[in-house]
């Protein structure tokens, strides 16, 4: 039986588990295409009072191809996802293109030891191409150049004794916004605010207390270095917001039943700012939390719910000239999803996320962003491989900062076909 990737935090190519009518072995490749018509009430994510607040109908084309191969103890896979959106309501820059390439490797090099590796690369006009905490809920202009992101993940996990094991993790993330001062002709470009390189090291020791309970002790260290040569404000370099994060934590993973399990990691986050300007805090301390509950409430129904709390980068830096920059935000994120077959060929899914972010440092100190996103999608199986779908998406930002709040409604209908 072919194996599929199960590493958490890594894009799983689950569609490769489709079987053909002639054989029971999973296919090693899959092709999928989606065609949608959509409406976007605020494609610029702007406040109603701002110039450029416009809506548009459009067409989206989304082909996806994936491949997975098993060779002895090694499984590897690749996926390419292209998305083109045409906005009829725009007078210029009517087409947005998004390219995502995902690579994966899993190797069981010993009976009790496994190596995992993945790399996800994306080019898009909209930064939100990966799941997670949203650091920049607004965009400067739809005329901006492309946004690049690459996330490399490496992991080694195995048992040292019958019940005690070691998990070593490393993540490298690079963000590069192709909108700099050469395009704006002024300070405070999007590159200056968000271009960065992150190195995250996450070693932990775990104890299989029983067949259903795992206890872990870990230490997560993240090095954040802003990489743009642009200025945040006159005389203020991006590296004044560089940070080193230290997160010691304890974790519990427990399987209550065959269909219900939970994971909780709780600890302290200590942040140091090596290049901070005089007058700003050189270090901060706050709680750190990463938790999730998974519940399979039926054969075709799954529920996920989680809460996270940590510091994150932000696209807010200097609101008043002459003040020190905002260093980052403390963010509490509540997220969840429900997927279920409603009856026969009809299924539905609901996803939601809420973020409460507290700005720290600079003229925005003590102010908040509250971001809400959600989506409801229905799918109807027409014939084998062909699905009709319709959905609604909501994005809402309530901010204490003037001119930042917005509401965005999106709806779509379409067809998808998998082969």
Distance from C-alpha of 158 to C-alpha of 110, rounded to nearest angstrom: 9
Any idea which fold 31-418 has?
Porin (2.40.160)
Q: DSSP string covering 92-141, please?
A: S--EEEEEEEEEEEEEEEETTEEEEEEEEEEEESSS--SSS--S--S-S-
CB atoms within 10 A of CB 78: 17
The pLDDT value recorded for residue 13 is: 30
Kindly state the average pLDDT of the residues 179-184: 56
pLDDT of 11 over the 70 cut? no
Distance linking the first and last C-alpha atoms of the chain:
21
Residue with tokens 């002790």: 217
The pLDDT value recorded for residue 358 is: 96
Contact 126/99 with Cβ under 8 angstroms?
no
Kindly state the average pLDDT of the residues 122-132: 66
Burial of 109 (0-12, 13-18, 19+ CB in 10 A): exposed
Contact 32/416 with Cβ under 8 angstroms?
yes
CB atoms within 10 A of CB 269: 21
Q: What's the mean pLDDT when you consider all of the chain?
A: 88
Distance from C-alpha of 352 to C-alpha of 349, rounded to nearest angstrom: 10
Kindly state the average pLDDT of the residues 13-30: 52
The pLDDT value recorded for residue 177 is: 84
This model's pTM is above 0.75: yes
The pLDDT value recorded for residue 318 is: 78
Give 419's DSSP letter.
-
Residue with tokens 């994005």: 395
Tokens of 404: 């930042």
Contact 224/242 with Cβ under 8 angstroms?
yes
Q: Find all residues with CB under 8 Å of 39, minimum gap 6, and list them.
A: 55, 56, 57, 58, 409, 410, 411, 412
pLDDT of 6 over the 70 cut? no
> What does each C-alpha distance from 232 to 46, 182, 321, 324, 364 come to in angstroms?
22, 14, 10, 10, 15
The pLDDT value recorded for residue 17 is: 34
Parse the chain into domains and list their residue ranges.
31-418
The pLDDT value recorded for residue 125 is: 74
126 pLDDT band (50/70/90 cuts)? low
347 pLDDT band (50/70/90 cuts)? very high
Alpha-carbon torsion angle 90, 95, 96, 97, nearest 10: 180
Q: Which of 160, 79, 64, 69 is nearest to 112 (CA)?
A: 160
Residue with tokens 């996803």: 351
Kindly state the average pLDDT of the residues 314-334: 86
Distance from C-alpha of 170 to C-alpha of 198, rounded to nearest angstrom: 10
pLDDT of 62 over the 70 cut? yes
pLDDT of 292 over the 80 cut? yes
Residue with tokens 């917005």: 406
Burial of 68 (0-12, 13-18, 19+ CB in 10 A): buried
Distance from C-alpha of 199 to C-alpha of 242, rounded to nearest angstrom: 12
């Amino acid at each position: 039986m072919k194996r599929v990737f199960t590493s958490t935090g890594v894009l799983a190519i689950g569609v490769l588990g489709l079987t053909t009518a002639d054989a029971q072995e999973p296919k090693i490749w899959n092709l999928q295409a989606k065609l949608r018509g959509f409406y976007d009430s605020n494609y610029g994510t702007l406040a109603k009072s701002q110039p450029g607040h416009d809506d548009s109908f459009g067409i989206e084309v989304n082909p996806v191809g994936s491949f997975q191969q098993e060779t002895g103890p090694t499984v590897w896979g690749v996926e390419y996802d292209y998305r083109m959106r045409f906005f009829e309501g725009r007078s210029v820059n009517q087409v947005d293109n998004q390219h995502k390439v995902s690579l994966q490797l899993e190797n069981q090099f010993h009976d009790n030891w496994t190596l995992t590796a993945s790399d996800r690369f994306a080019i898009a006009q909209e930064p939100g191409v990966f799941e997670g905490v949203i650091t920049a809920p607004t965009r400067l202009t739809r005329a901006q150049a492309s946004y690049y992101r690459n996330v490399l993940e490496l992991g080694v996990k195995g048992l040292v004794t019958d019940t005690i094991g070691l998990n070593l993790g490393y993540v490298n993330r690079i963000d590069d916004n192709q909108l700099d001062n050469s395009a704006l002709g002024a300070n405070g470009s999007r590159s200056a605010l968000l271009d960065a390189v992150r190195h995250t090291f996450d070693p932990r020791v775990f104890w299989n207390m029983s067949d259903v309970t795992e206890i872990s002790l870990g230490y997560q260290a993240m090095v954040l270095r802003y990489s743009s040569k642009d200025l945040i404000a006159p005389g203020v370099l991006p590296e004044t917001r560089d940070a080193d994060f230290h997160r010691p934590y304890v974790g519990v993973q427990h399987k209550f039943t065959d269909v219900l399990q939970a994971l909780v990691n709780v600890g302290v986050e200590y942040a140091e700012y090596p290049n901070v300007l005089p007058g700003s805090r050189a270090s901060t301390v706050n709680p750190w939390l990463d938790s999730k509950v998974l519940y399979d409430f039926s054969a075709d129904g799954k529920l996920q719910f989680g809460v996270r709390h940590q510091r994150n980068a932000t696209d807010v830096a200097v609101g008043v000239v002459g003040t020190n920059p905002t260093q980052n935000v403390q963010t509490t994120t509540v997220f969840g999803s429900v997927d279920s077959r409603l009856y026969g060929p009809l299924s539905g899914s609901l996803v939601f996320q809420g973020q409460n972010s507290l700005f720290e440092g600079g003229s925005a100190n003590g102010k908040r962003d509250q971001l809400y996103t959600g989506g409801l999608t229905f799918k109807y199986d027409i014939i084998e491989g062909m699905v009709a779908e319709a959905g609604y998406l909501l994005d809402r930002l309530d901010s204490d900062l003037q001119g930042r709040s917005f509401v965005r409604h999106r709806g779509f209908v379409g067809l998808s076909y998998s082969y």
